[in-house]
Structure 1
Amino acid sequence: MIPIIKNGEKENSTKRRKLDDKDPHESIPKNNKPKDLDDIIYYFEKGLRKVKPYYYEYQAFAKGRWLGRSIFDIFCTEFRDRSRDYYAYAIETGLITINERIVTKEKMVKNQDIIGHKIHRHEPPITADPIKIISTENDLIVIDKPGSVPVHPSGRYRHNTVLHILQKDFGFSNLYTLNRLDRLTSGIMFLSTKKEKAQEFEQLMQERKIYKEYLCRVIGEFPTDDVICDKPIMTVSHKLGLNVVHPKGKPCTTIFHRESYNGRTSVVRCKPITGRTHQIRVHLQYLGYVIANDPLYNHNVWGQQKGKGGIDEASTKSVIHNLINEGISQEECLVLNLPKKQNSDEESLEEQGQGSSEKCKECSIPNFPDPEPHQLFIWLHALKYEVYGCKYETELPYWAKDDFAGDININ
C-alpha cells in the first residue's frame, strides 16, 4: 500500500545581479544570502502578513546605453517609479552611488562603473495564513503553500516569499524548489536541501512519473462526463505571463472531472498530464469555464465569451495591448490593490499617490490601501501529489466545500 501523508501525519508508513532597465525592484542584490533576514520584522494585521519597510541596496554594472550620460539623467529616464526630486535627493544624500562613492548629479557614468541604489522597500502584503509543513522525510520538505505567497524573491517581494518565510519561521536554509506554484495558486509544493534531489525530481517530471491533482472553481455548469483537453499552449507575452492555446504551442494535456455544481459555479478536479505554465487556467478558458476569480483569464478584455474556443492573432494582440493599458503586470496589480502603471512614462509612484492621505515619513512614497485577504489568490489549489511511492494530500480549501457562498457576486 502506498503511504499517504496528509497535513503532516503519515499513515502506513550573491551572485551579483543586474539592475533591470525597467524596474529597479526587479534588480538583484549583491549576494543571494538573505543576510538581512534576522533584522526583518514580520507583523500581522487584518488577515495579512506584512513586512516592516526596510532599506536595501541594489547594485549593477553600467549598461552600454548609460555610458557618457549623467547619473541623474539615467535614473530620471530609465526608472520612472520615483520623481525627479526624489532622484536628486537620493544622489545628494548618497542613496544613489557610483563605485560606492557619493557623486554629484552631473557625474558621467563610465564603462565598468558600479551603480548602487539604497532604496526604502515597501513589500506588498500577503495572506496571514501560515505555510503548513506536510512532511520532512526522504530529503523532501513538503508544504501547503497559501495563495498569494510568491516562491522566490522577485519584483517587490523579497521577504514575503516562501523561501524567506521558511527560513525565518522554521529555520530552513539552502533550499531548492522542486516544483513551482504561481503566486496566486495554493497547495502542495516540494523543496529540498539537496541539489541532487531537485535534479532527480525534475527528471521525474520530464518523464511524467509524478501524478498530481488540482481543484478549482469555475464559472458555469461544467459537464458531468470527464473532459480531456489536449490543445497546445504558447506564451504570447512574457511581460504579462500570458499564455493561450495556439497551434505552434507546446503539447499539453489536462483531464477534468466535475466534483459539484451549486447553480453558479462548479468545483472541478484537474489532472494535468504535462506541466506547462498556466496550463489548467488556459485549458479551462479554452473550454469556456474560466476560473471564477482569475484576474487574468477571466478579464473582460477577452470579450463576452472570455476566450472560449481560442482567439486569433489579431485578437491576441488586442488583449495584450488592453491588459497593458490597464496596468496589468505579471506579478502585481492582478489581484492586489496596488497602483497601476507604476513604472509608466506618465507618472511616478509619488504622483499616482497624490490623493493618498498617508505617505511614508522615510521616503514619501504613498501608503496605498491594503487589499482584502480574499483578493490575494485565485480558486486553484494543488490538492494531491504521488511521487517516490508516497501520496501527499492537503485538506480541501474552504472555497471548494459545498457550503461555500463566496461566488454569489462573481461574473
Structure 2
Amino acid sequence: MKARHYIFVNIMVWKKKHKLSESCVAGTIVNSNKRRKEDEPKPKLKADDIYYEENGLQRIHPYYHKYATHAKGRWVGRTIYDVFAKEFRDRQPSYYEAAIRQGLIELNGQKVDKTTVVRNGDLVTHYIHRHEPPVARAPVRVVNETSELYIVDKPASVPVHPSGRYNYNSVIRILEIKQGREDLFPINRLDRLTSGLMLIARNAEAARRMEKHFVEHRIQKEYICKVQGEFPLGKIVCDQAIRVVAHKLSLNCVDPKDGKPSLTEFERLSSDGETSIVYCRPKTGRTHQIRVHLQFLGHPIANDPLYCNEAVWGKQMGRRGHLPTDEEEVVEEEEEEEEEEEKVVVAGRPSKMAGKRDSDKQNEAWVPLVRRMEEWKSKQELVDQVNGAEELENRLCEKCASPAYPDPTEEELAIWLHAWRYSGPGWTYETPLPAWAQEAEAHIDRVKYVPE
C-alpha cells in the first residue's frame, strides 16, 4: 500500500499562491478553494486524512505547521533572510531562500523578499512542512472507563502529549481524532518507549483529585521489565536519590548529595542467565526512576538506549554510579575485580561520582559522559539519514527537500519496561503482560500488591 500524498495544515487558511487544490483549515482538508469565514465553525479533523498504515507502522501524512514569534531584539535591523540563515541552522540557507520566495516565511502576515528588514514588534511566521516519525501500529486501547476516568493501555513508541517531532502520533491526539474522545486530562505520564497503563481524567476536578492521590502515595504502581544479567533473588530495595543531569537529553543519575529521595522495590520473576524478568514497585515518582535504579544495581533494562549503552557508559555500564574517566576507557576499560559478591542496595551507599558542582549543580564528572551521549545521538541521526537516503534511493520530499529516514526497527520502538498495574482507594486496574514478559505470567501472583 502506497502512502496517499495529502497535505493538511495547522493554520487558519492556506494561500492560493501555493497552488494547492484544497483550502486547509485547522489541520484538516476541506475540498474547496473558498476561504473560511471567521464565524464559521472549524471542520472536525478526520482520521483518514491524517493517519494511514504501511509496513506495520502508523504514519502521518506530511503537513504544514505554523510557527510564529515576535522579533527578538538582536533581529531588529537585519534582513529576514539573514535572520533565518544565521539564527536557525537546522536547515541550509538555500532552504530559507526558497521558503521566502514561496511565501512560507512572512512578516505580520505579509509576503516578504530576501531584503525585507525586520523591525521591532514584527510578527515572524514560518510554515514548516512537518514529517512526523511513524509509531507502532498497535492501538491506543481503552481497557476500562468510568464517569471520571479512561484507563488506557499505551503502546510503546507513542508519546503521551504532542511534543518535539510528534503531534498527531500521540496518545492524546489519537484518542481525540481516531476515537472521538474529548476533554482529556492525563494524570500520569509514561516515556515514549515505555508501554502500559495510563490514567486519563475526563474532567479537571477528577484530574486534580487523582494527582493528589499520586502525590500522597495512595496509588500503588507496579511495573514489569526485562534486564541485563541474572538479577539477584529476593526483594531488592534501591533508595538512591536521583537528579537530572541533562534536561535536553532526558538524562538522570543517582546523586546522594543533590538528588531527590527515591525508592524502588524489585523482585526477580524469572531468568535465563543472560536476562531476567523483574517486578518493580516504585514508591516515589522520579523521572526514569526504575531505569536509573536498575542501572545503578548493575542490571539495566536490556534494550535501553539511554542507560544500557556501552558506547557511552563503558563496560561497567554505570554500575554503582561508576563513570568512565576518559574517552579511551569507554572502549578499553576492563571489568574491575569485585572484592565481594553483589549485595542488596541499601540506603546511604556512596556513588563513585566526584567533582566540584557549579551553580547548576552539574557534576563535573558528568560533563564528558553528557558529551559522549550527545555525540552518540548525533552519529545515530547521521547514520539514519544516510541509510534512509540509500534505502529510499536518495528520495527527498518534493515540498521541503527533507531527506527520507528509514523506518524504526522493532527494537527501536520500545524498551522492555511495562506499566502493568495500578491500585488506588477501592480500585485496581491492570493490562496484559507484553510478549517479552509472558514467561513471568506463572510467577506474577506471588509478588503483586494486594490492596488492603
Q: TM-score range by the shorter chain?
A: 0.7 to 0.9
Name the amino acid aligned to 2:209.
E
User: How many residues end up aligned between the 2 structures?
Assistant: 361
**From 322, 330, 351, the counterpart of 2:372:** 322
TM-superposed CA distance for 1:57, in Å, is 1.4
Q: Is residue 2:413 matched to residue 1:376? A: yes
TM-superposed CA distance for 1:46, in Å, is 1.7
Q: Is residue 2:430 matched to residue 1:393? A: yes
Deviations 1:356-375 (CA, angstroms, capped at 9, x unpaired): 52111222111111112332
1:107-146 correspondence runs (5 A): 107-146=116-155
> Does structure 2 retain, via aligned residues, the 8 Å contact 1:258–1:267?
yes
Name the amino acid aligned to 1:79.
F
Report the aligned-residue RMSD: 2.6
SS at match of 2:98: helix
Q: Determine the structure 2 residue equivalent to 1:362.
A: 399
TM-superposed CA distance for 1:41, in Å, is 2.2
Greater helix share, structure number: 2
Q: Determine the structure 2 residue equivalent to 1:295.
A: 305
In structure 1, distance between residues paired with 2:87 and 2:262: 39
**From 254, 257, 261, the counterpart of 2:267:** 257
TM-superposed CA distance for 1:209, in Å, is 0.6
* Residues 1:243 and 1:31: Cα distance change in structure 2 (over 3 Å): farther
Name the amino acid aligned to 2:271.
Y
Name the amino acid aligned to 1:307.
G
- The gaps in structure 1 that reach 5 residues or longer are 1-15, 17-29, 343-348, 405-411
Q: Determine the structure 2 residue equivalent to 1:310.
A: 321
TM-superposed CA distance for 1:124, in Å, is 0.3
Deviations 1:356-401 (CA, angstroms, capped at 9, x unpaired): 5211122211111111233211000000001241110011100112
Q: Is residue 2:182 matched to residue 1:173? A: yes
Deviations 1:192-248 (CA, angstroms, capped at 9, x unpaired): 221111111111111111001000000000011110000000001001010000021
Q: Determine the structure 2 residue equivalent to 1:82.
A: 91
Deviations 1:242-266 (CA, angstroms, capped at 9, x unpaired): 0000021100100001010012100
* Residues 1:31 and 1:207: Cα distance change in structure 2 (over 3 Å): farther
Deviations 1:87-143 (CA, angstroms, capped at 9, x unpaired): 001011110111111111122222221111111110001000111111110400110
Q: Is residue 2:289 matched to residue 1:279? A: yes
TM-superposed CA distance for 1:338, in Å, is 4.8
Q: Determine the structure 2 residue equivalent to 1:38.
A: 46
Q: Determine the structure 2 residue equivalent to 1:3.
A: none
> Does structure 2 retain, via aligned residues, the 8 Å contact 1:146–1:187?
yes
Q: Normalised by the size of structure 2, how large is the TM-score?
A: 0.75
Name the amino acid aligned to 1:305.
Q
TM-superposed CA distance for 1:72, in Å, is 1.1
TM-superposed CA distance for 1:314, in Å, is 4.2
In structure 2, distance between residues paired with 1:98 and 1:201: 45
SS at match of 1:320: helix
- Matched residues, percent identical? 45
Name the amino acid aligned to 1:224.
L
TM-superposed CA distance for 1:35, in Å, is 6.9
* Residues 1:403 and 1:310: Cα distance change in structure 2 (over 3 Å): closer
> Does structure 1 retain, via aligned residues, the 8 Å contact 2:70–2:123?
yes
In structure 1, distance between residues paired with 2:95 and 2:394: 19
1:177-196 correspondence runs (5 A): 177-196=186-205
1:220-239 correspondence runs (5 A): 220-239=229-248
> Does structure 2 retain, via aligned residues, the 8 Å contact 1:354–1:366?
no
Deviations 1:263-319 (CA, angstroms, capped at 9, x unpaired): 210000000000000000000000000000000001121111100001424442111
Name the amino acid aligned to 1:274.
T
> Does structure 1 retain, via aligned residues, the 8 Å contact 2:185–2:202?
yes
SS at match of 1:198: helix
> Does structure 1 retain, via aligned residues, the 8 Å contact 2:155–2:196?
yes
Deviations 1:334-374 (CA, angstroms, capped at 9, x unpaired): xxx7547x9xxxxxx89x95995211122211111111233
Deviations 1:11-61 (CA, angstroms, capped at 9, x unpaired): xxxxx9xxxxxxxxxxxxx99999784374211112211001111211112
Q: Is residue 2:86 matched to residue 1:49? A: no
Higher Cα Rg: structure 1 or 2? Answer: 2
TM-superposed CA distance for 1:68, in Å, is 2.3
Name the amino acid aligned to 2:422.
Y
* Residues 1:120 and 1:32: Cα distance change in structure 2 (over 3 Å): closer
Q: Determine the structure 1 residue equivalent to 2:325.
A: none
In structure 2, distance between residues paired with 1:59 and 1:125: 26
SS at match of 1:44: strand
In structure 1, distance between residues paired with 2:317 and 2:73: 43
SS at match of 1:366: coil
- The gaps in structure 2 that reach 5 residues or longer are 1-10, 12-24, 29-41, 323-352, 354-362, 442-452
Q: Determine the structure 1 residue equivalent to 2:338.
A: none
Name the amino acid aligned to 1:393.
E
In structure 2, distance between residues paired with 1:251 and 1:276: 9
> Does structure 2 retain, via aligned residues, the 8 Å contact 1:48–1:373?
no
In structure 2, distance between residues paired with 1:315 and 1:353: 38
Q: Determine the structure 1 residue equivalent to 2:345.
A: none
> Does structure 2 retain, via aligned residues, the 8 Å contact 1:144–1:189?
yes
In structure 2, distance between residues paired with 1:246 and 1:91: 49
Q: Is residue 2:277 matched to residue 1:267? A: yes
1:61-76 correspondence runs (5 A): 61-76=70-85
Name the amino acid aligned to 1:304.
K
SS at match of 1:228: strand
TM-superposed CA distance for 1:327, in Å, is 2.7
Moved more, 364-373 or 120-129: 364-373
Moved more, 82-91 or 311-320: 311-320
* Residues 1:302 and 1:271: Cα distance change in structure 2 (over 3 Å): same
In structure 1, distance between residues paired with 2:260 and 2:43: 40
Q: Which has the higher contact order (CA 8 A, sep 6+)?
A: 1
Q: Normalised by the size of structure 1, how large is the TM-score?
A: 0.82
* Residues 1:86 and 1:32: Cα distance change in structure 2 (over 3 Å): closer
In structure 1, distance between residues paired with 2:366 and 2:425: 41
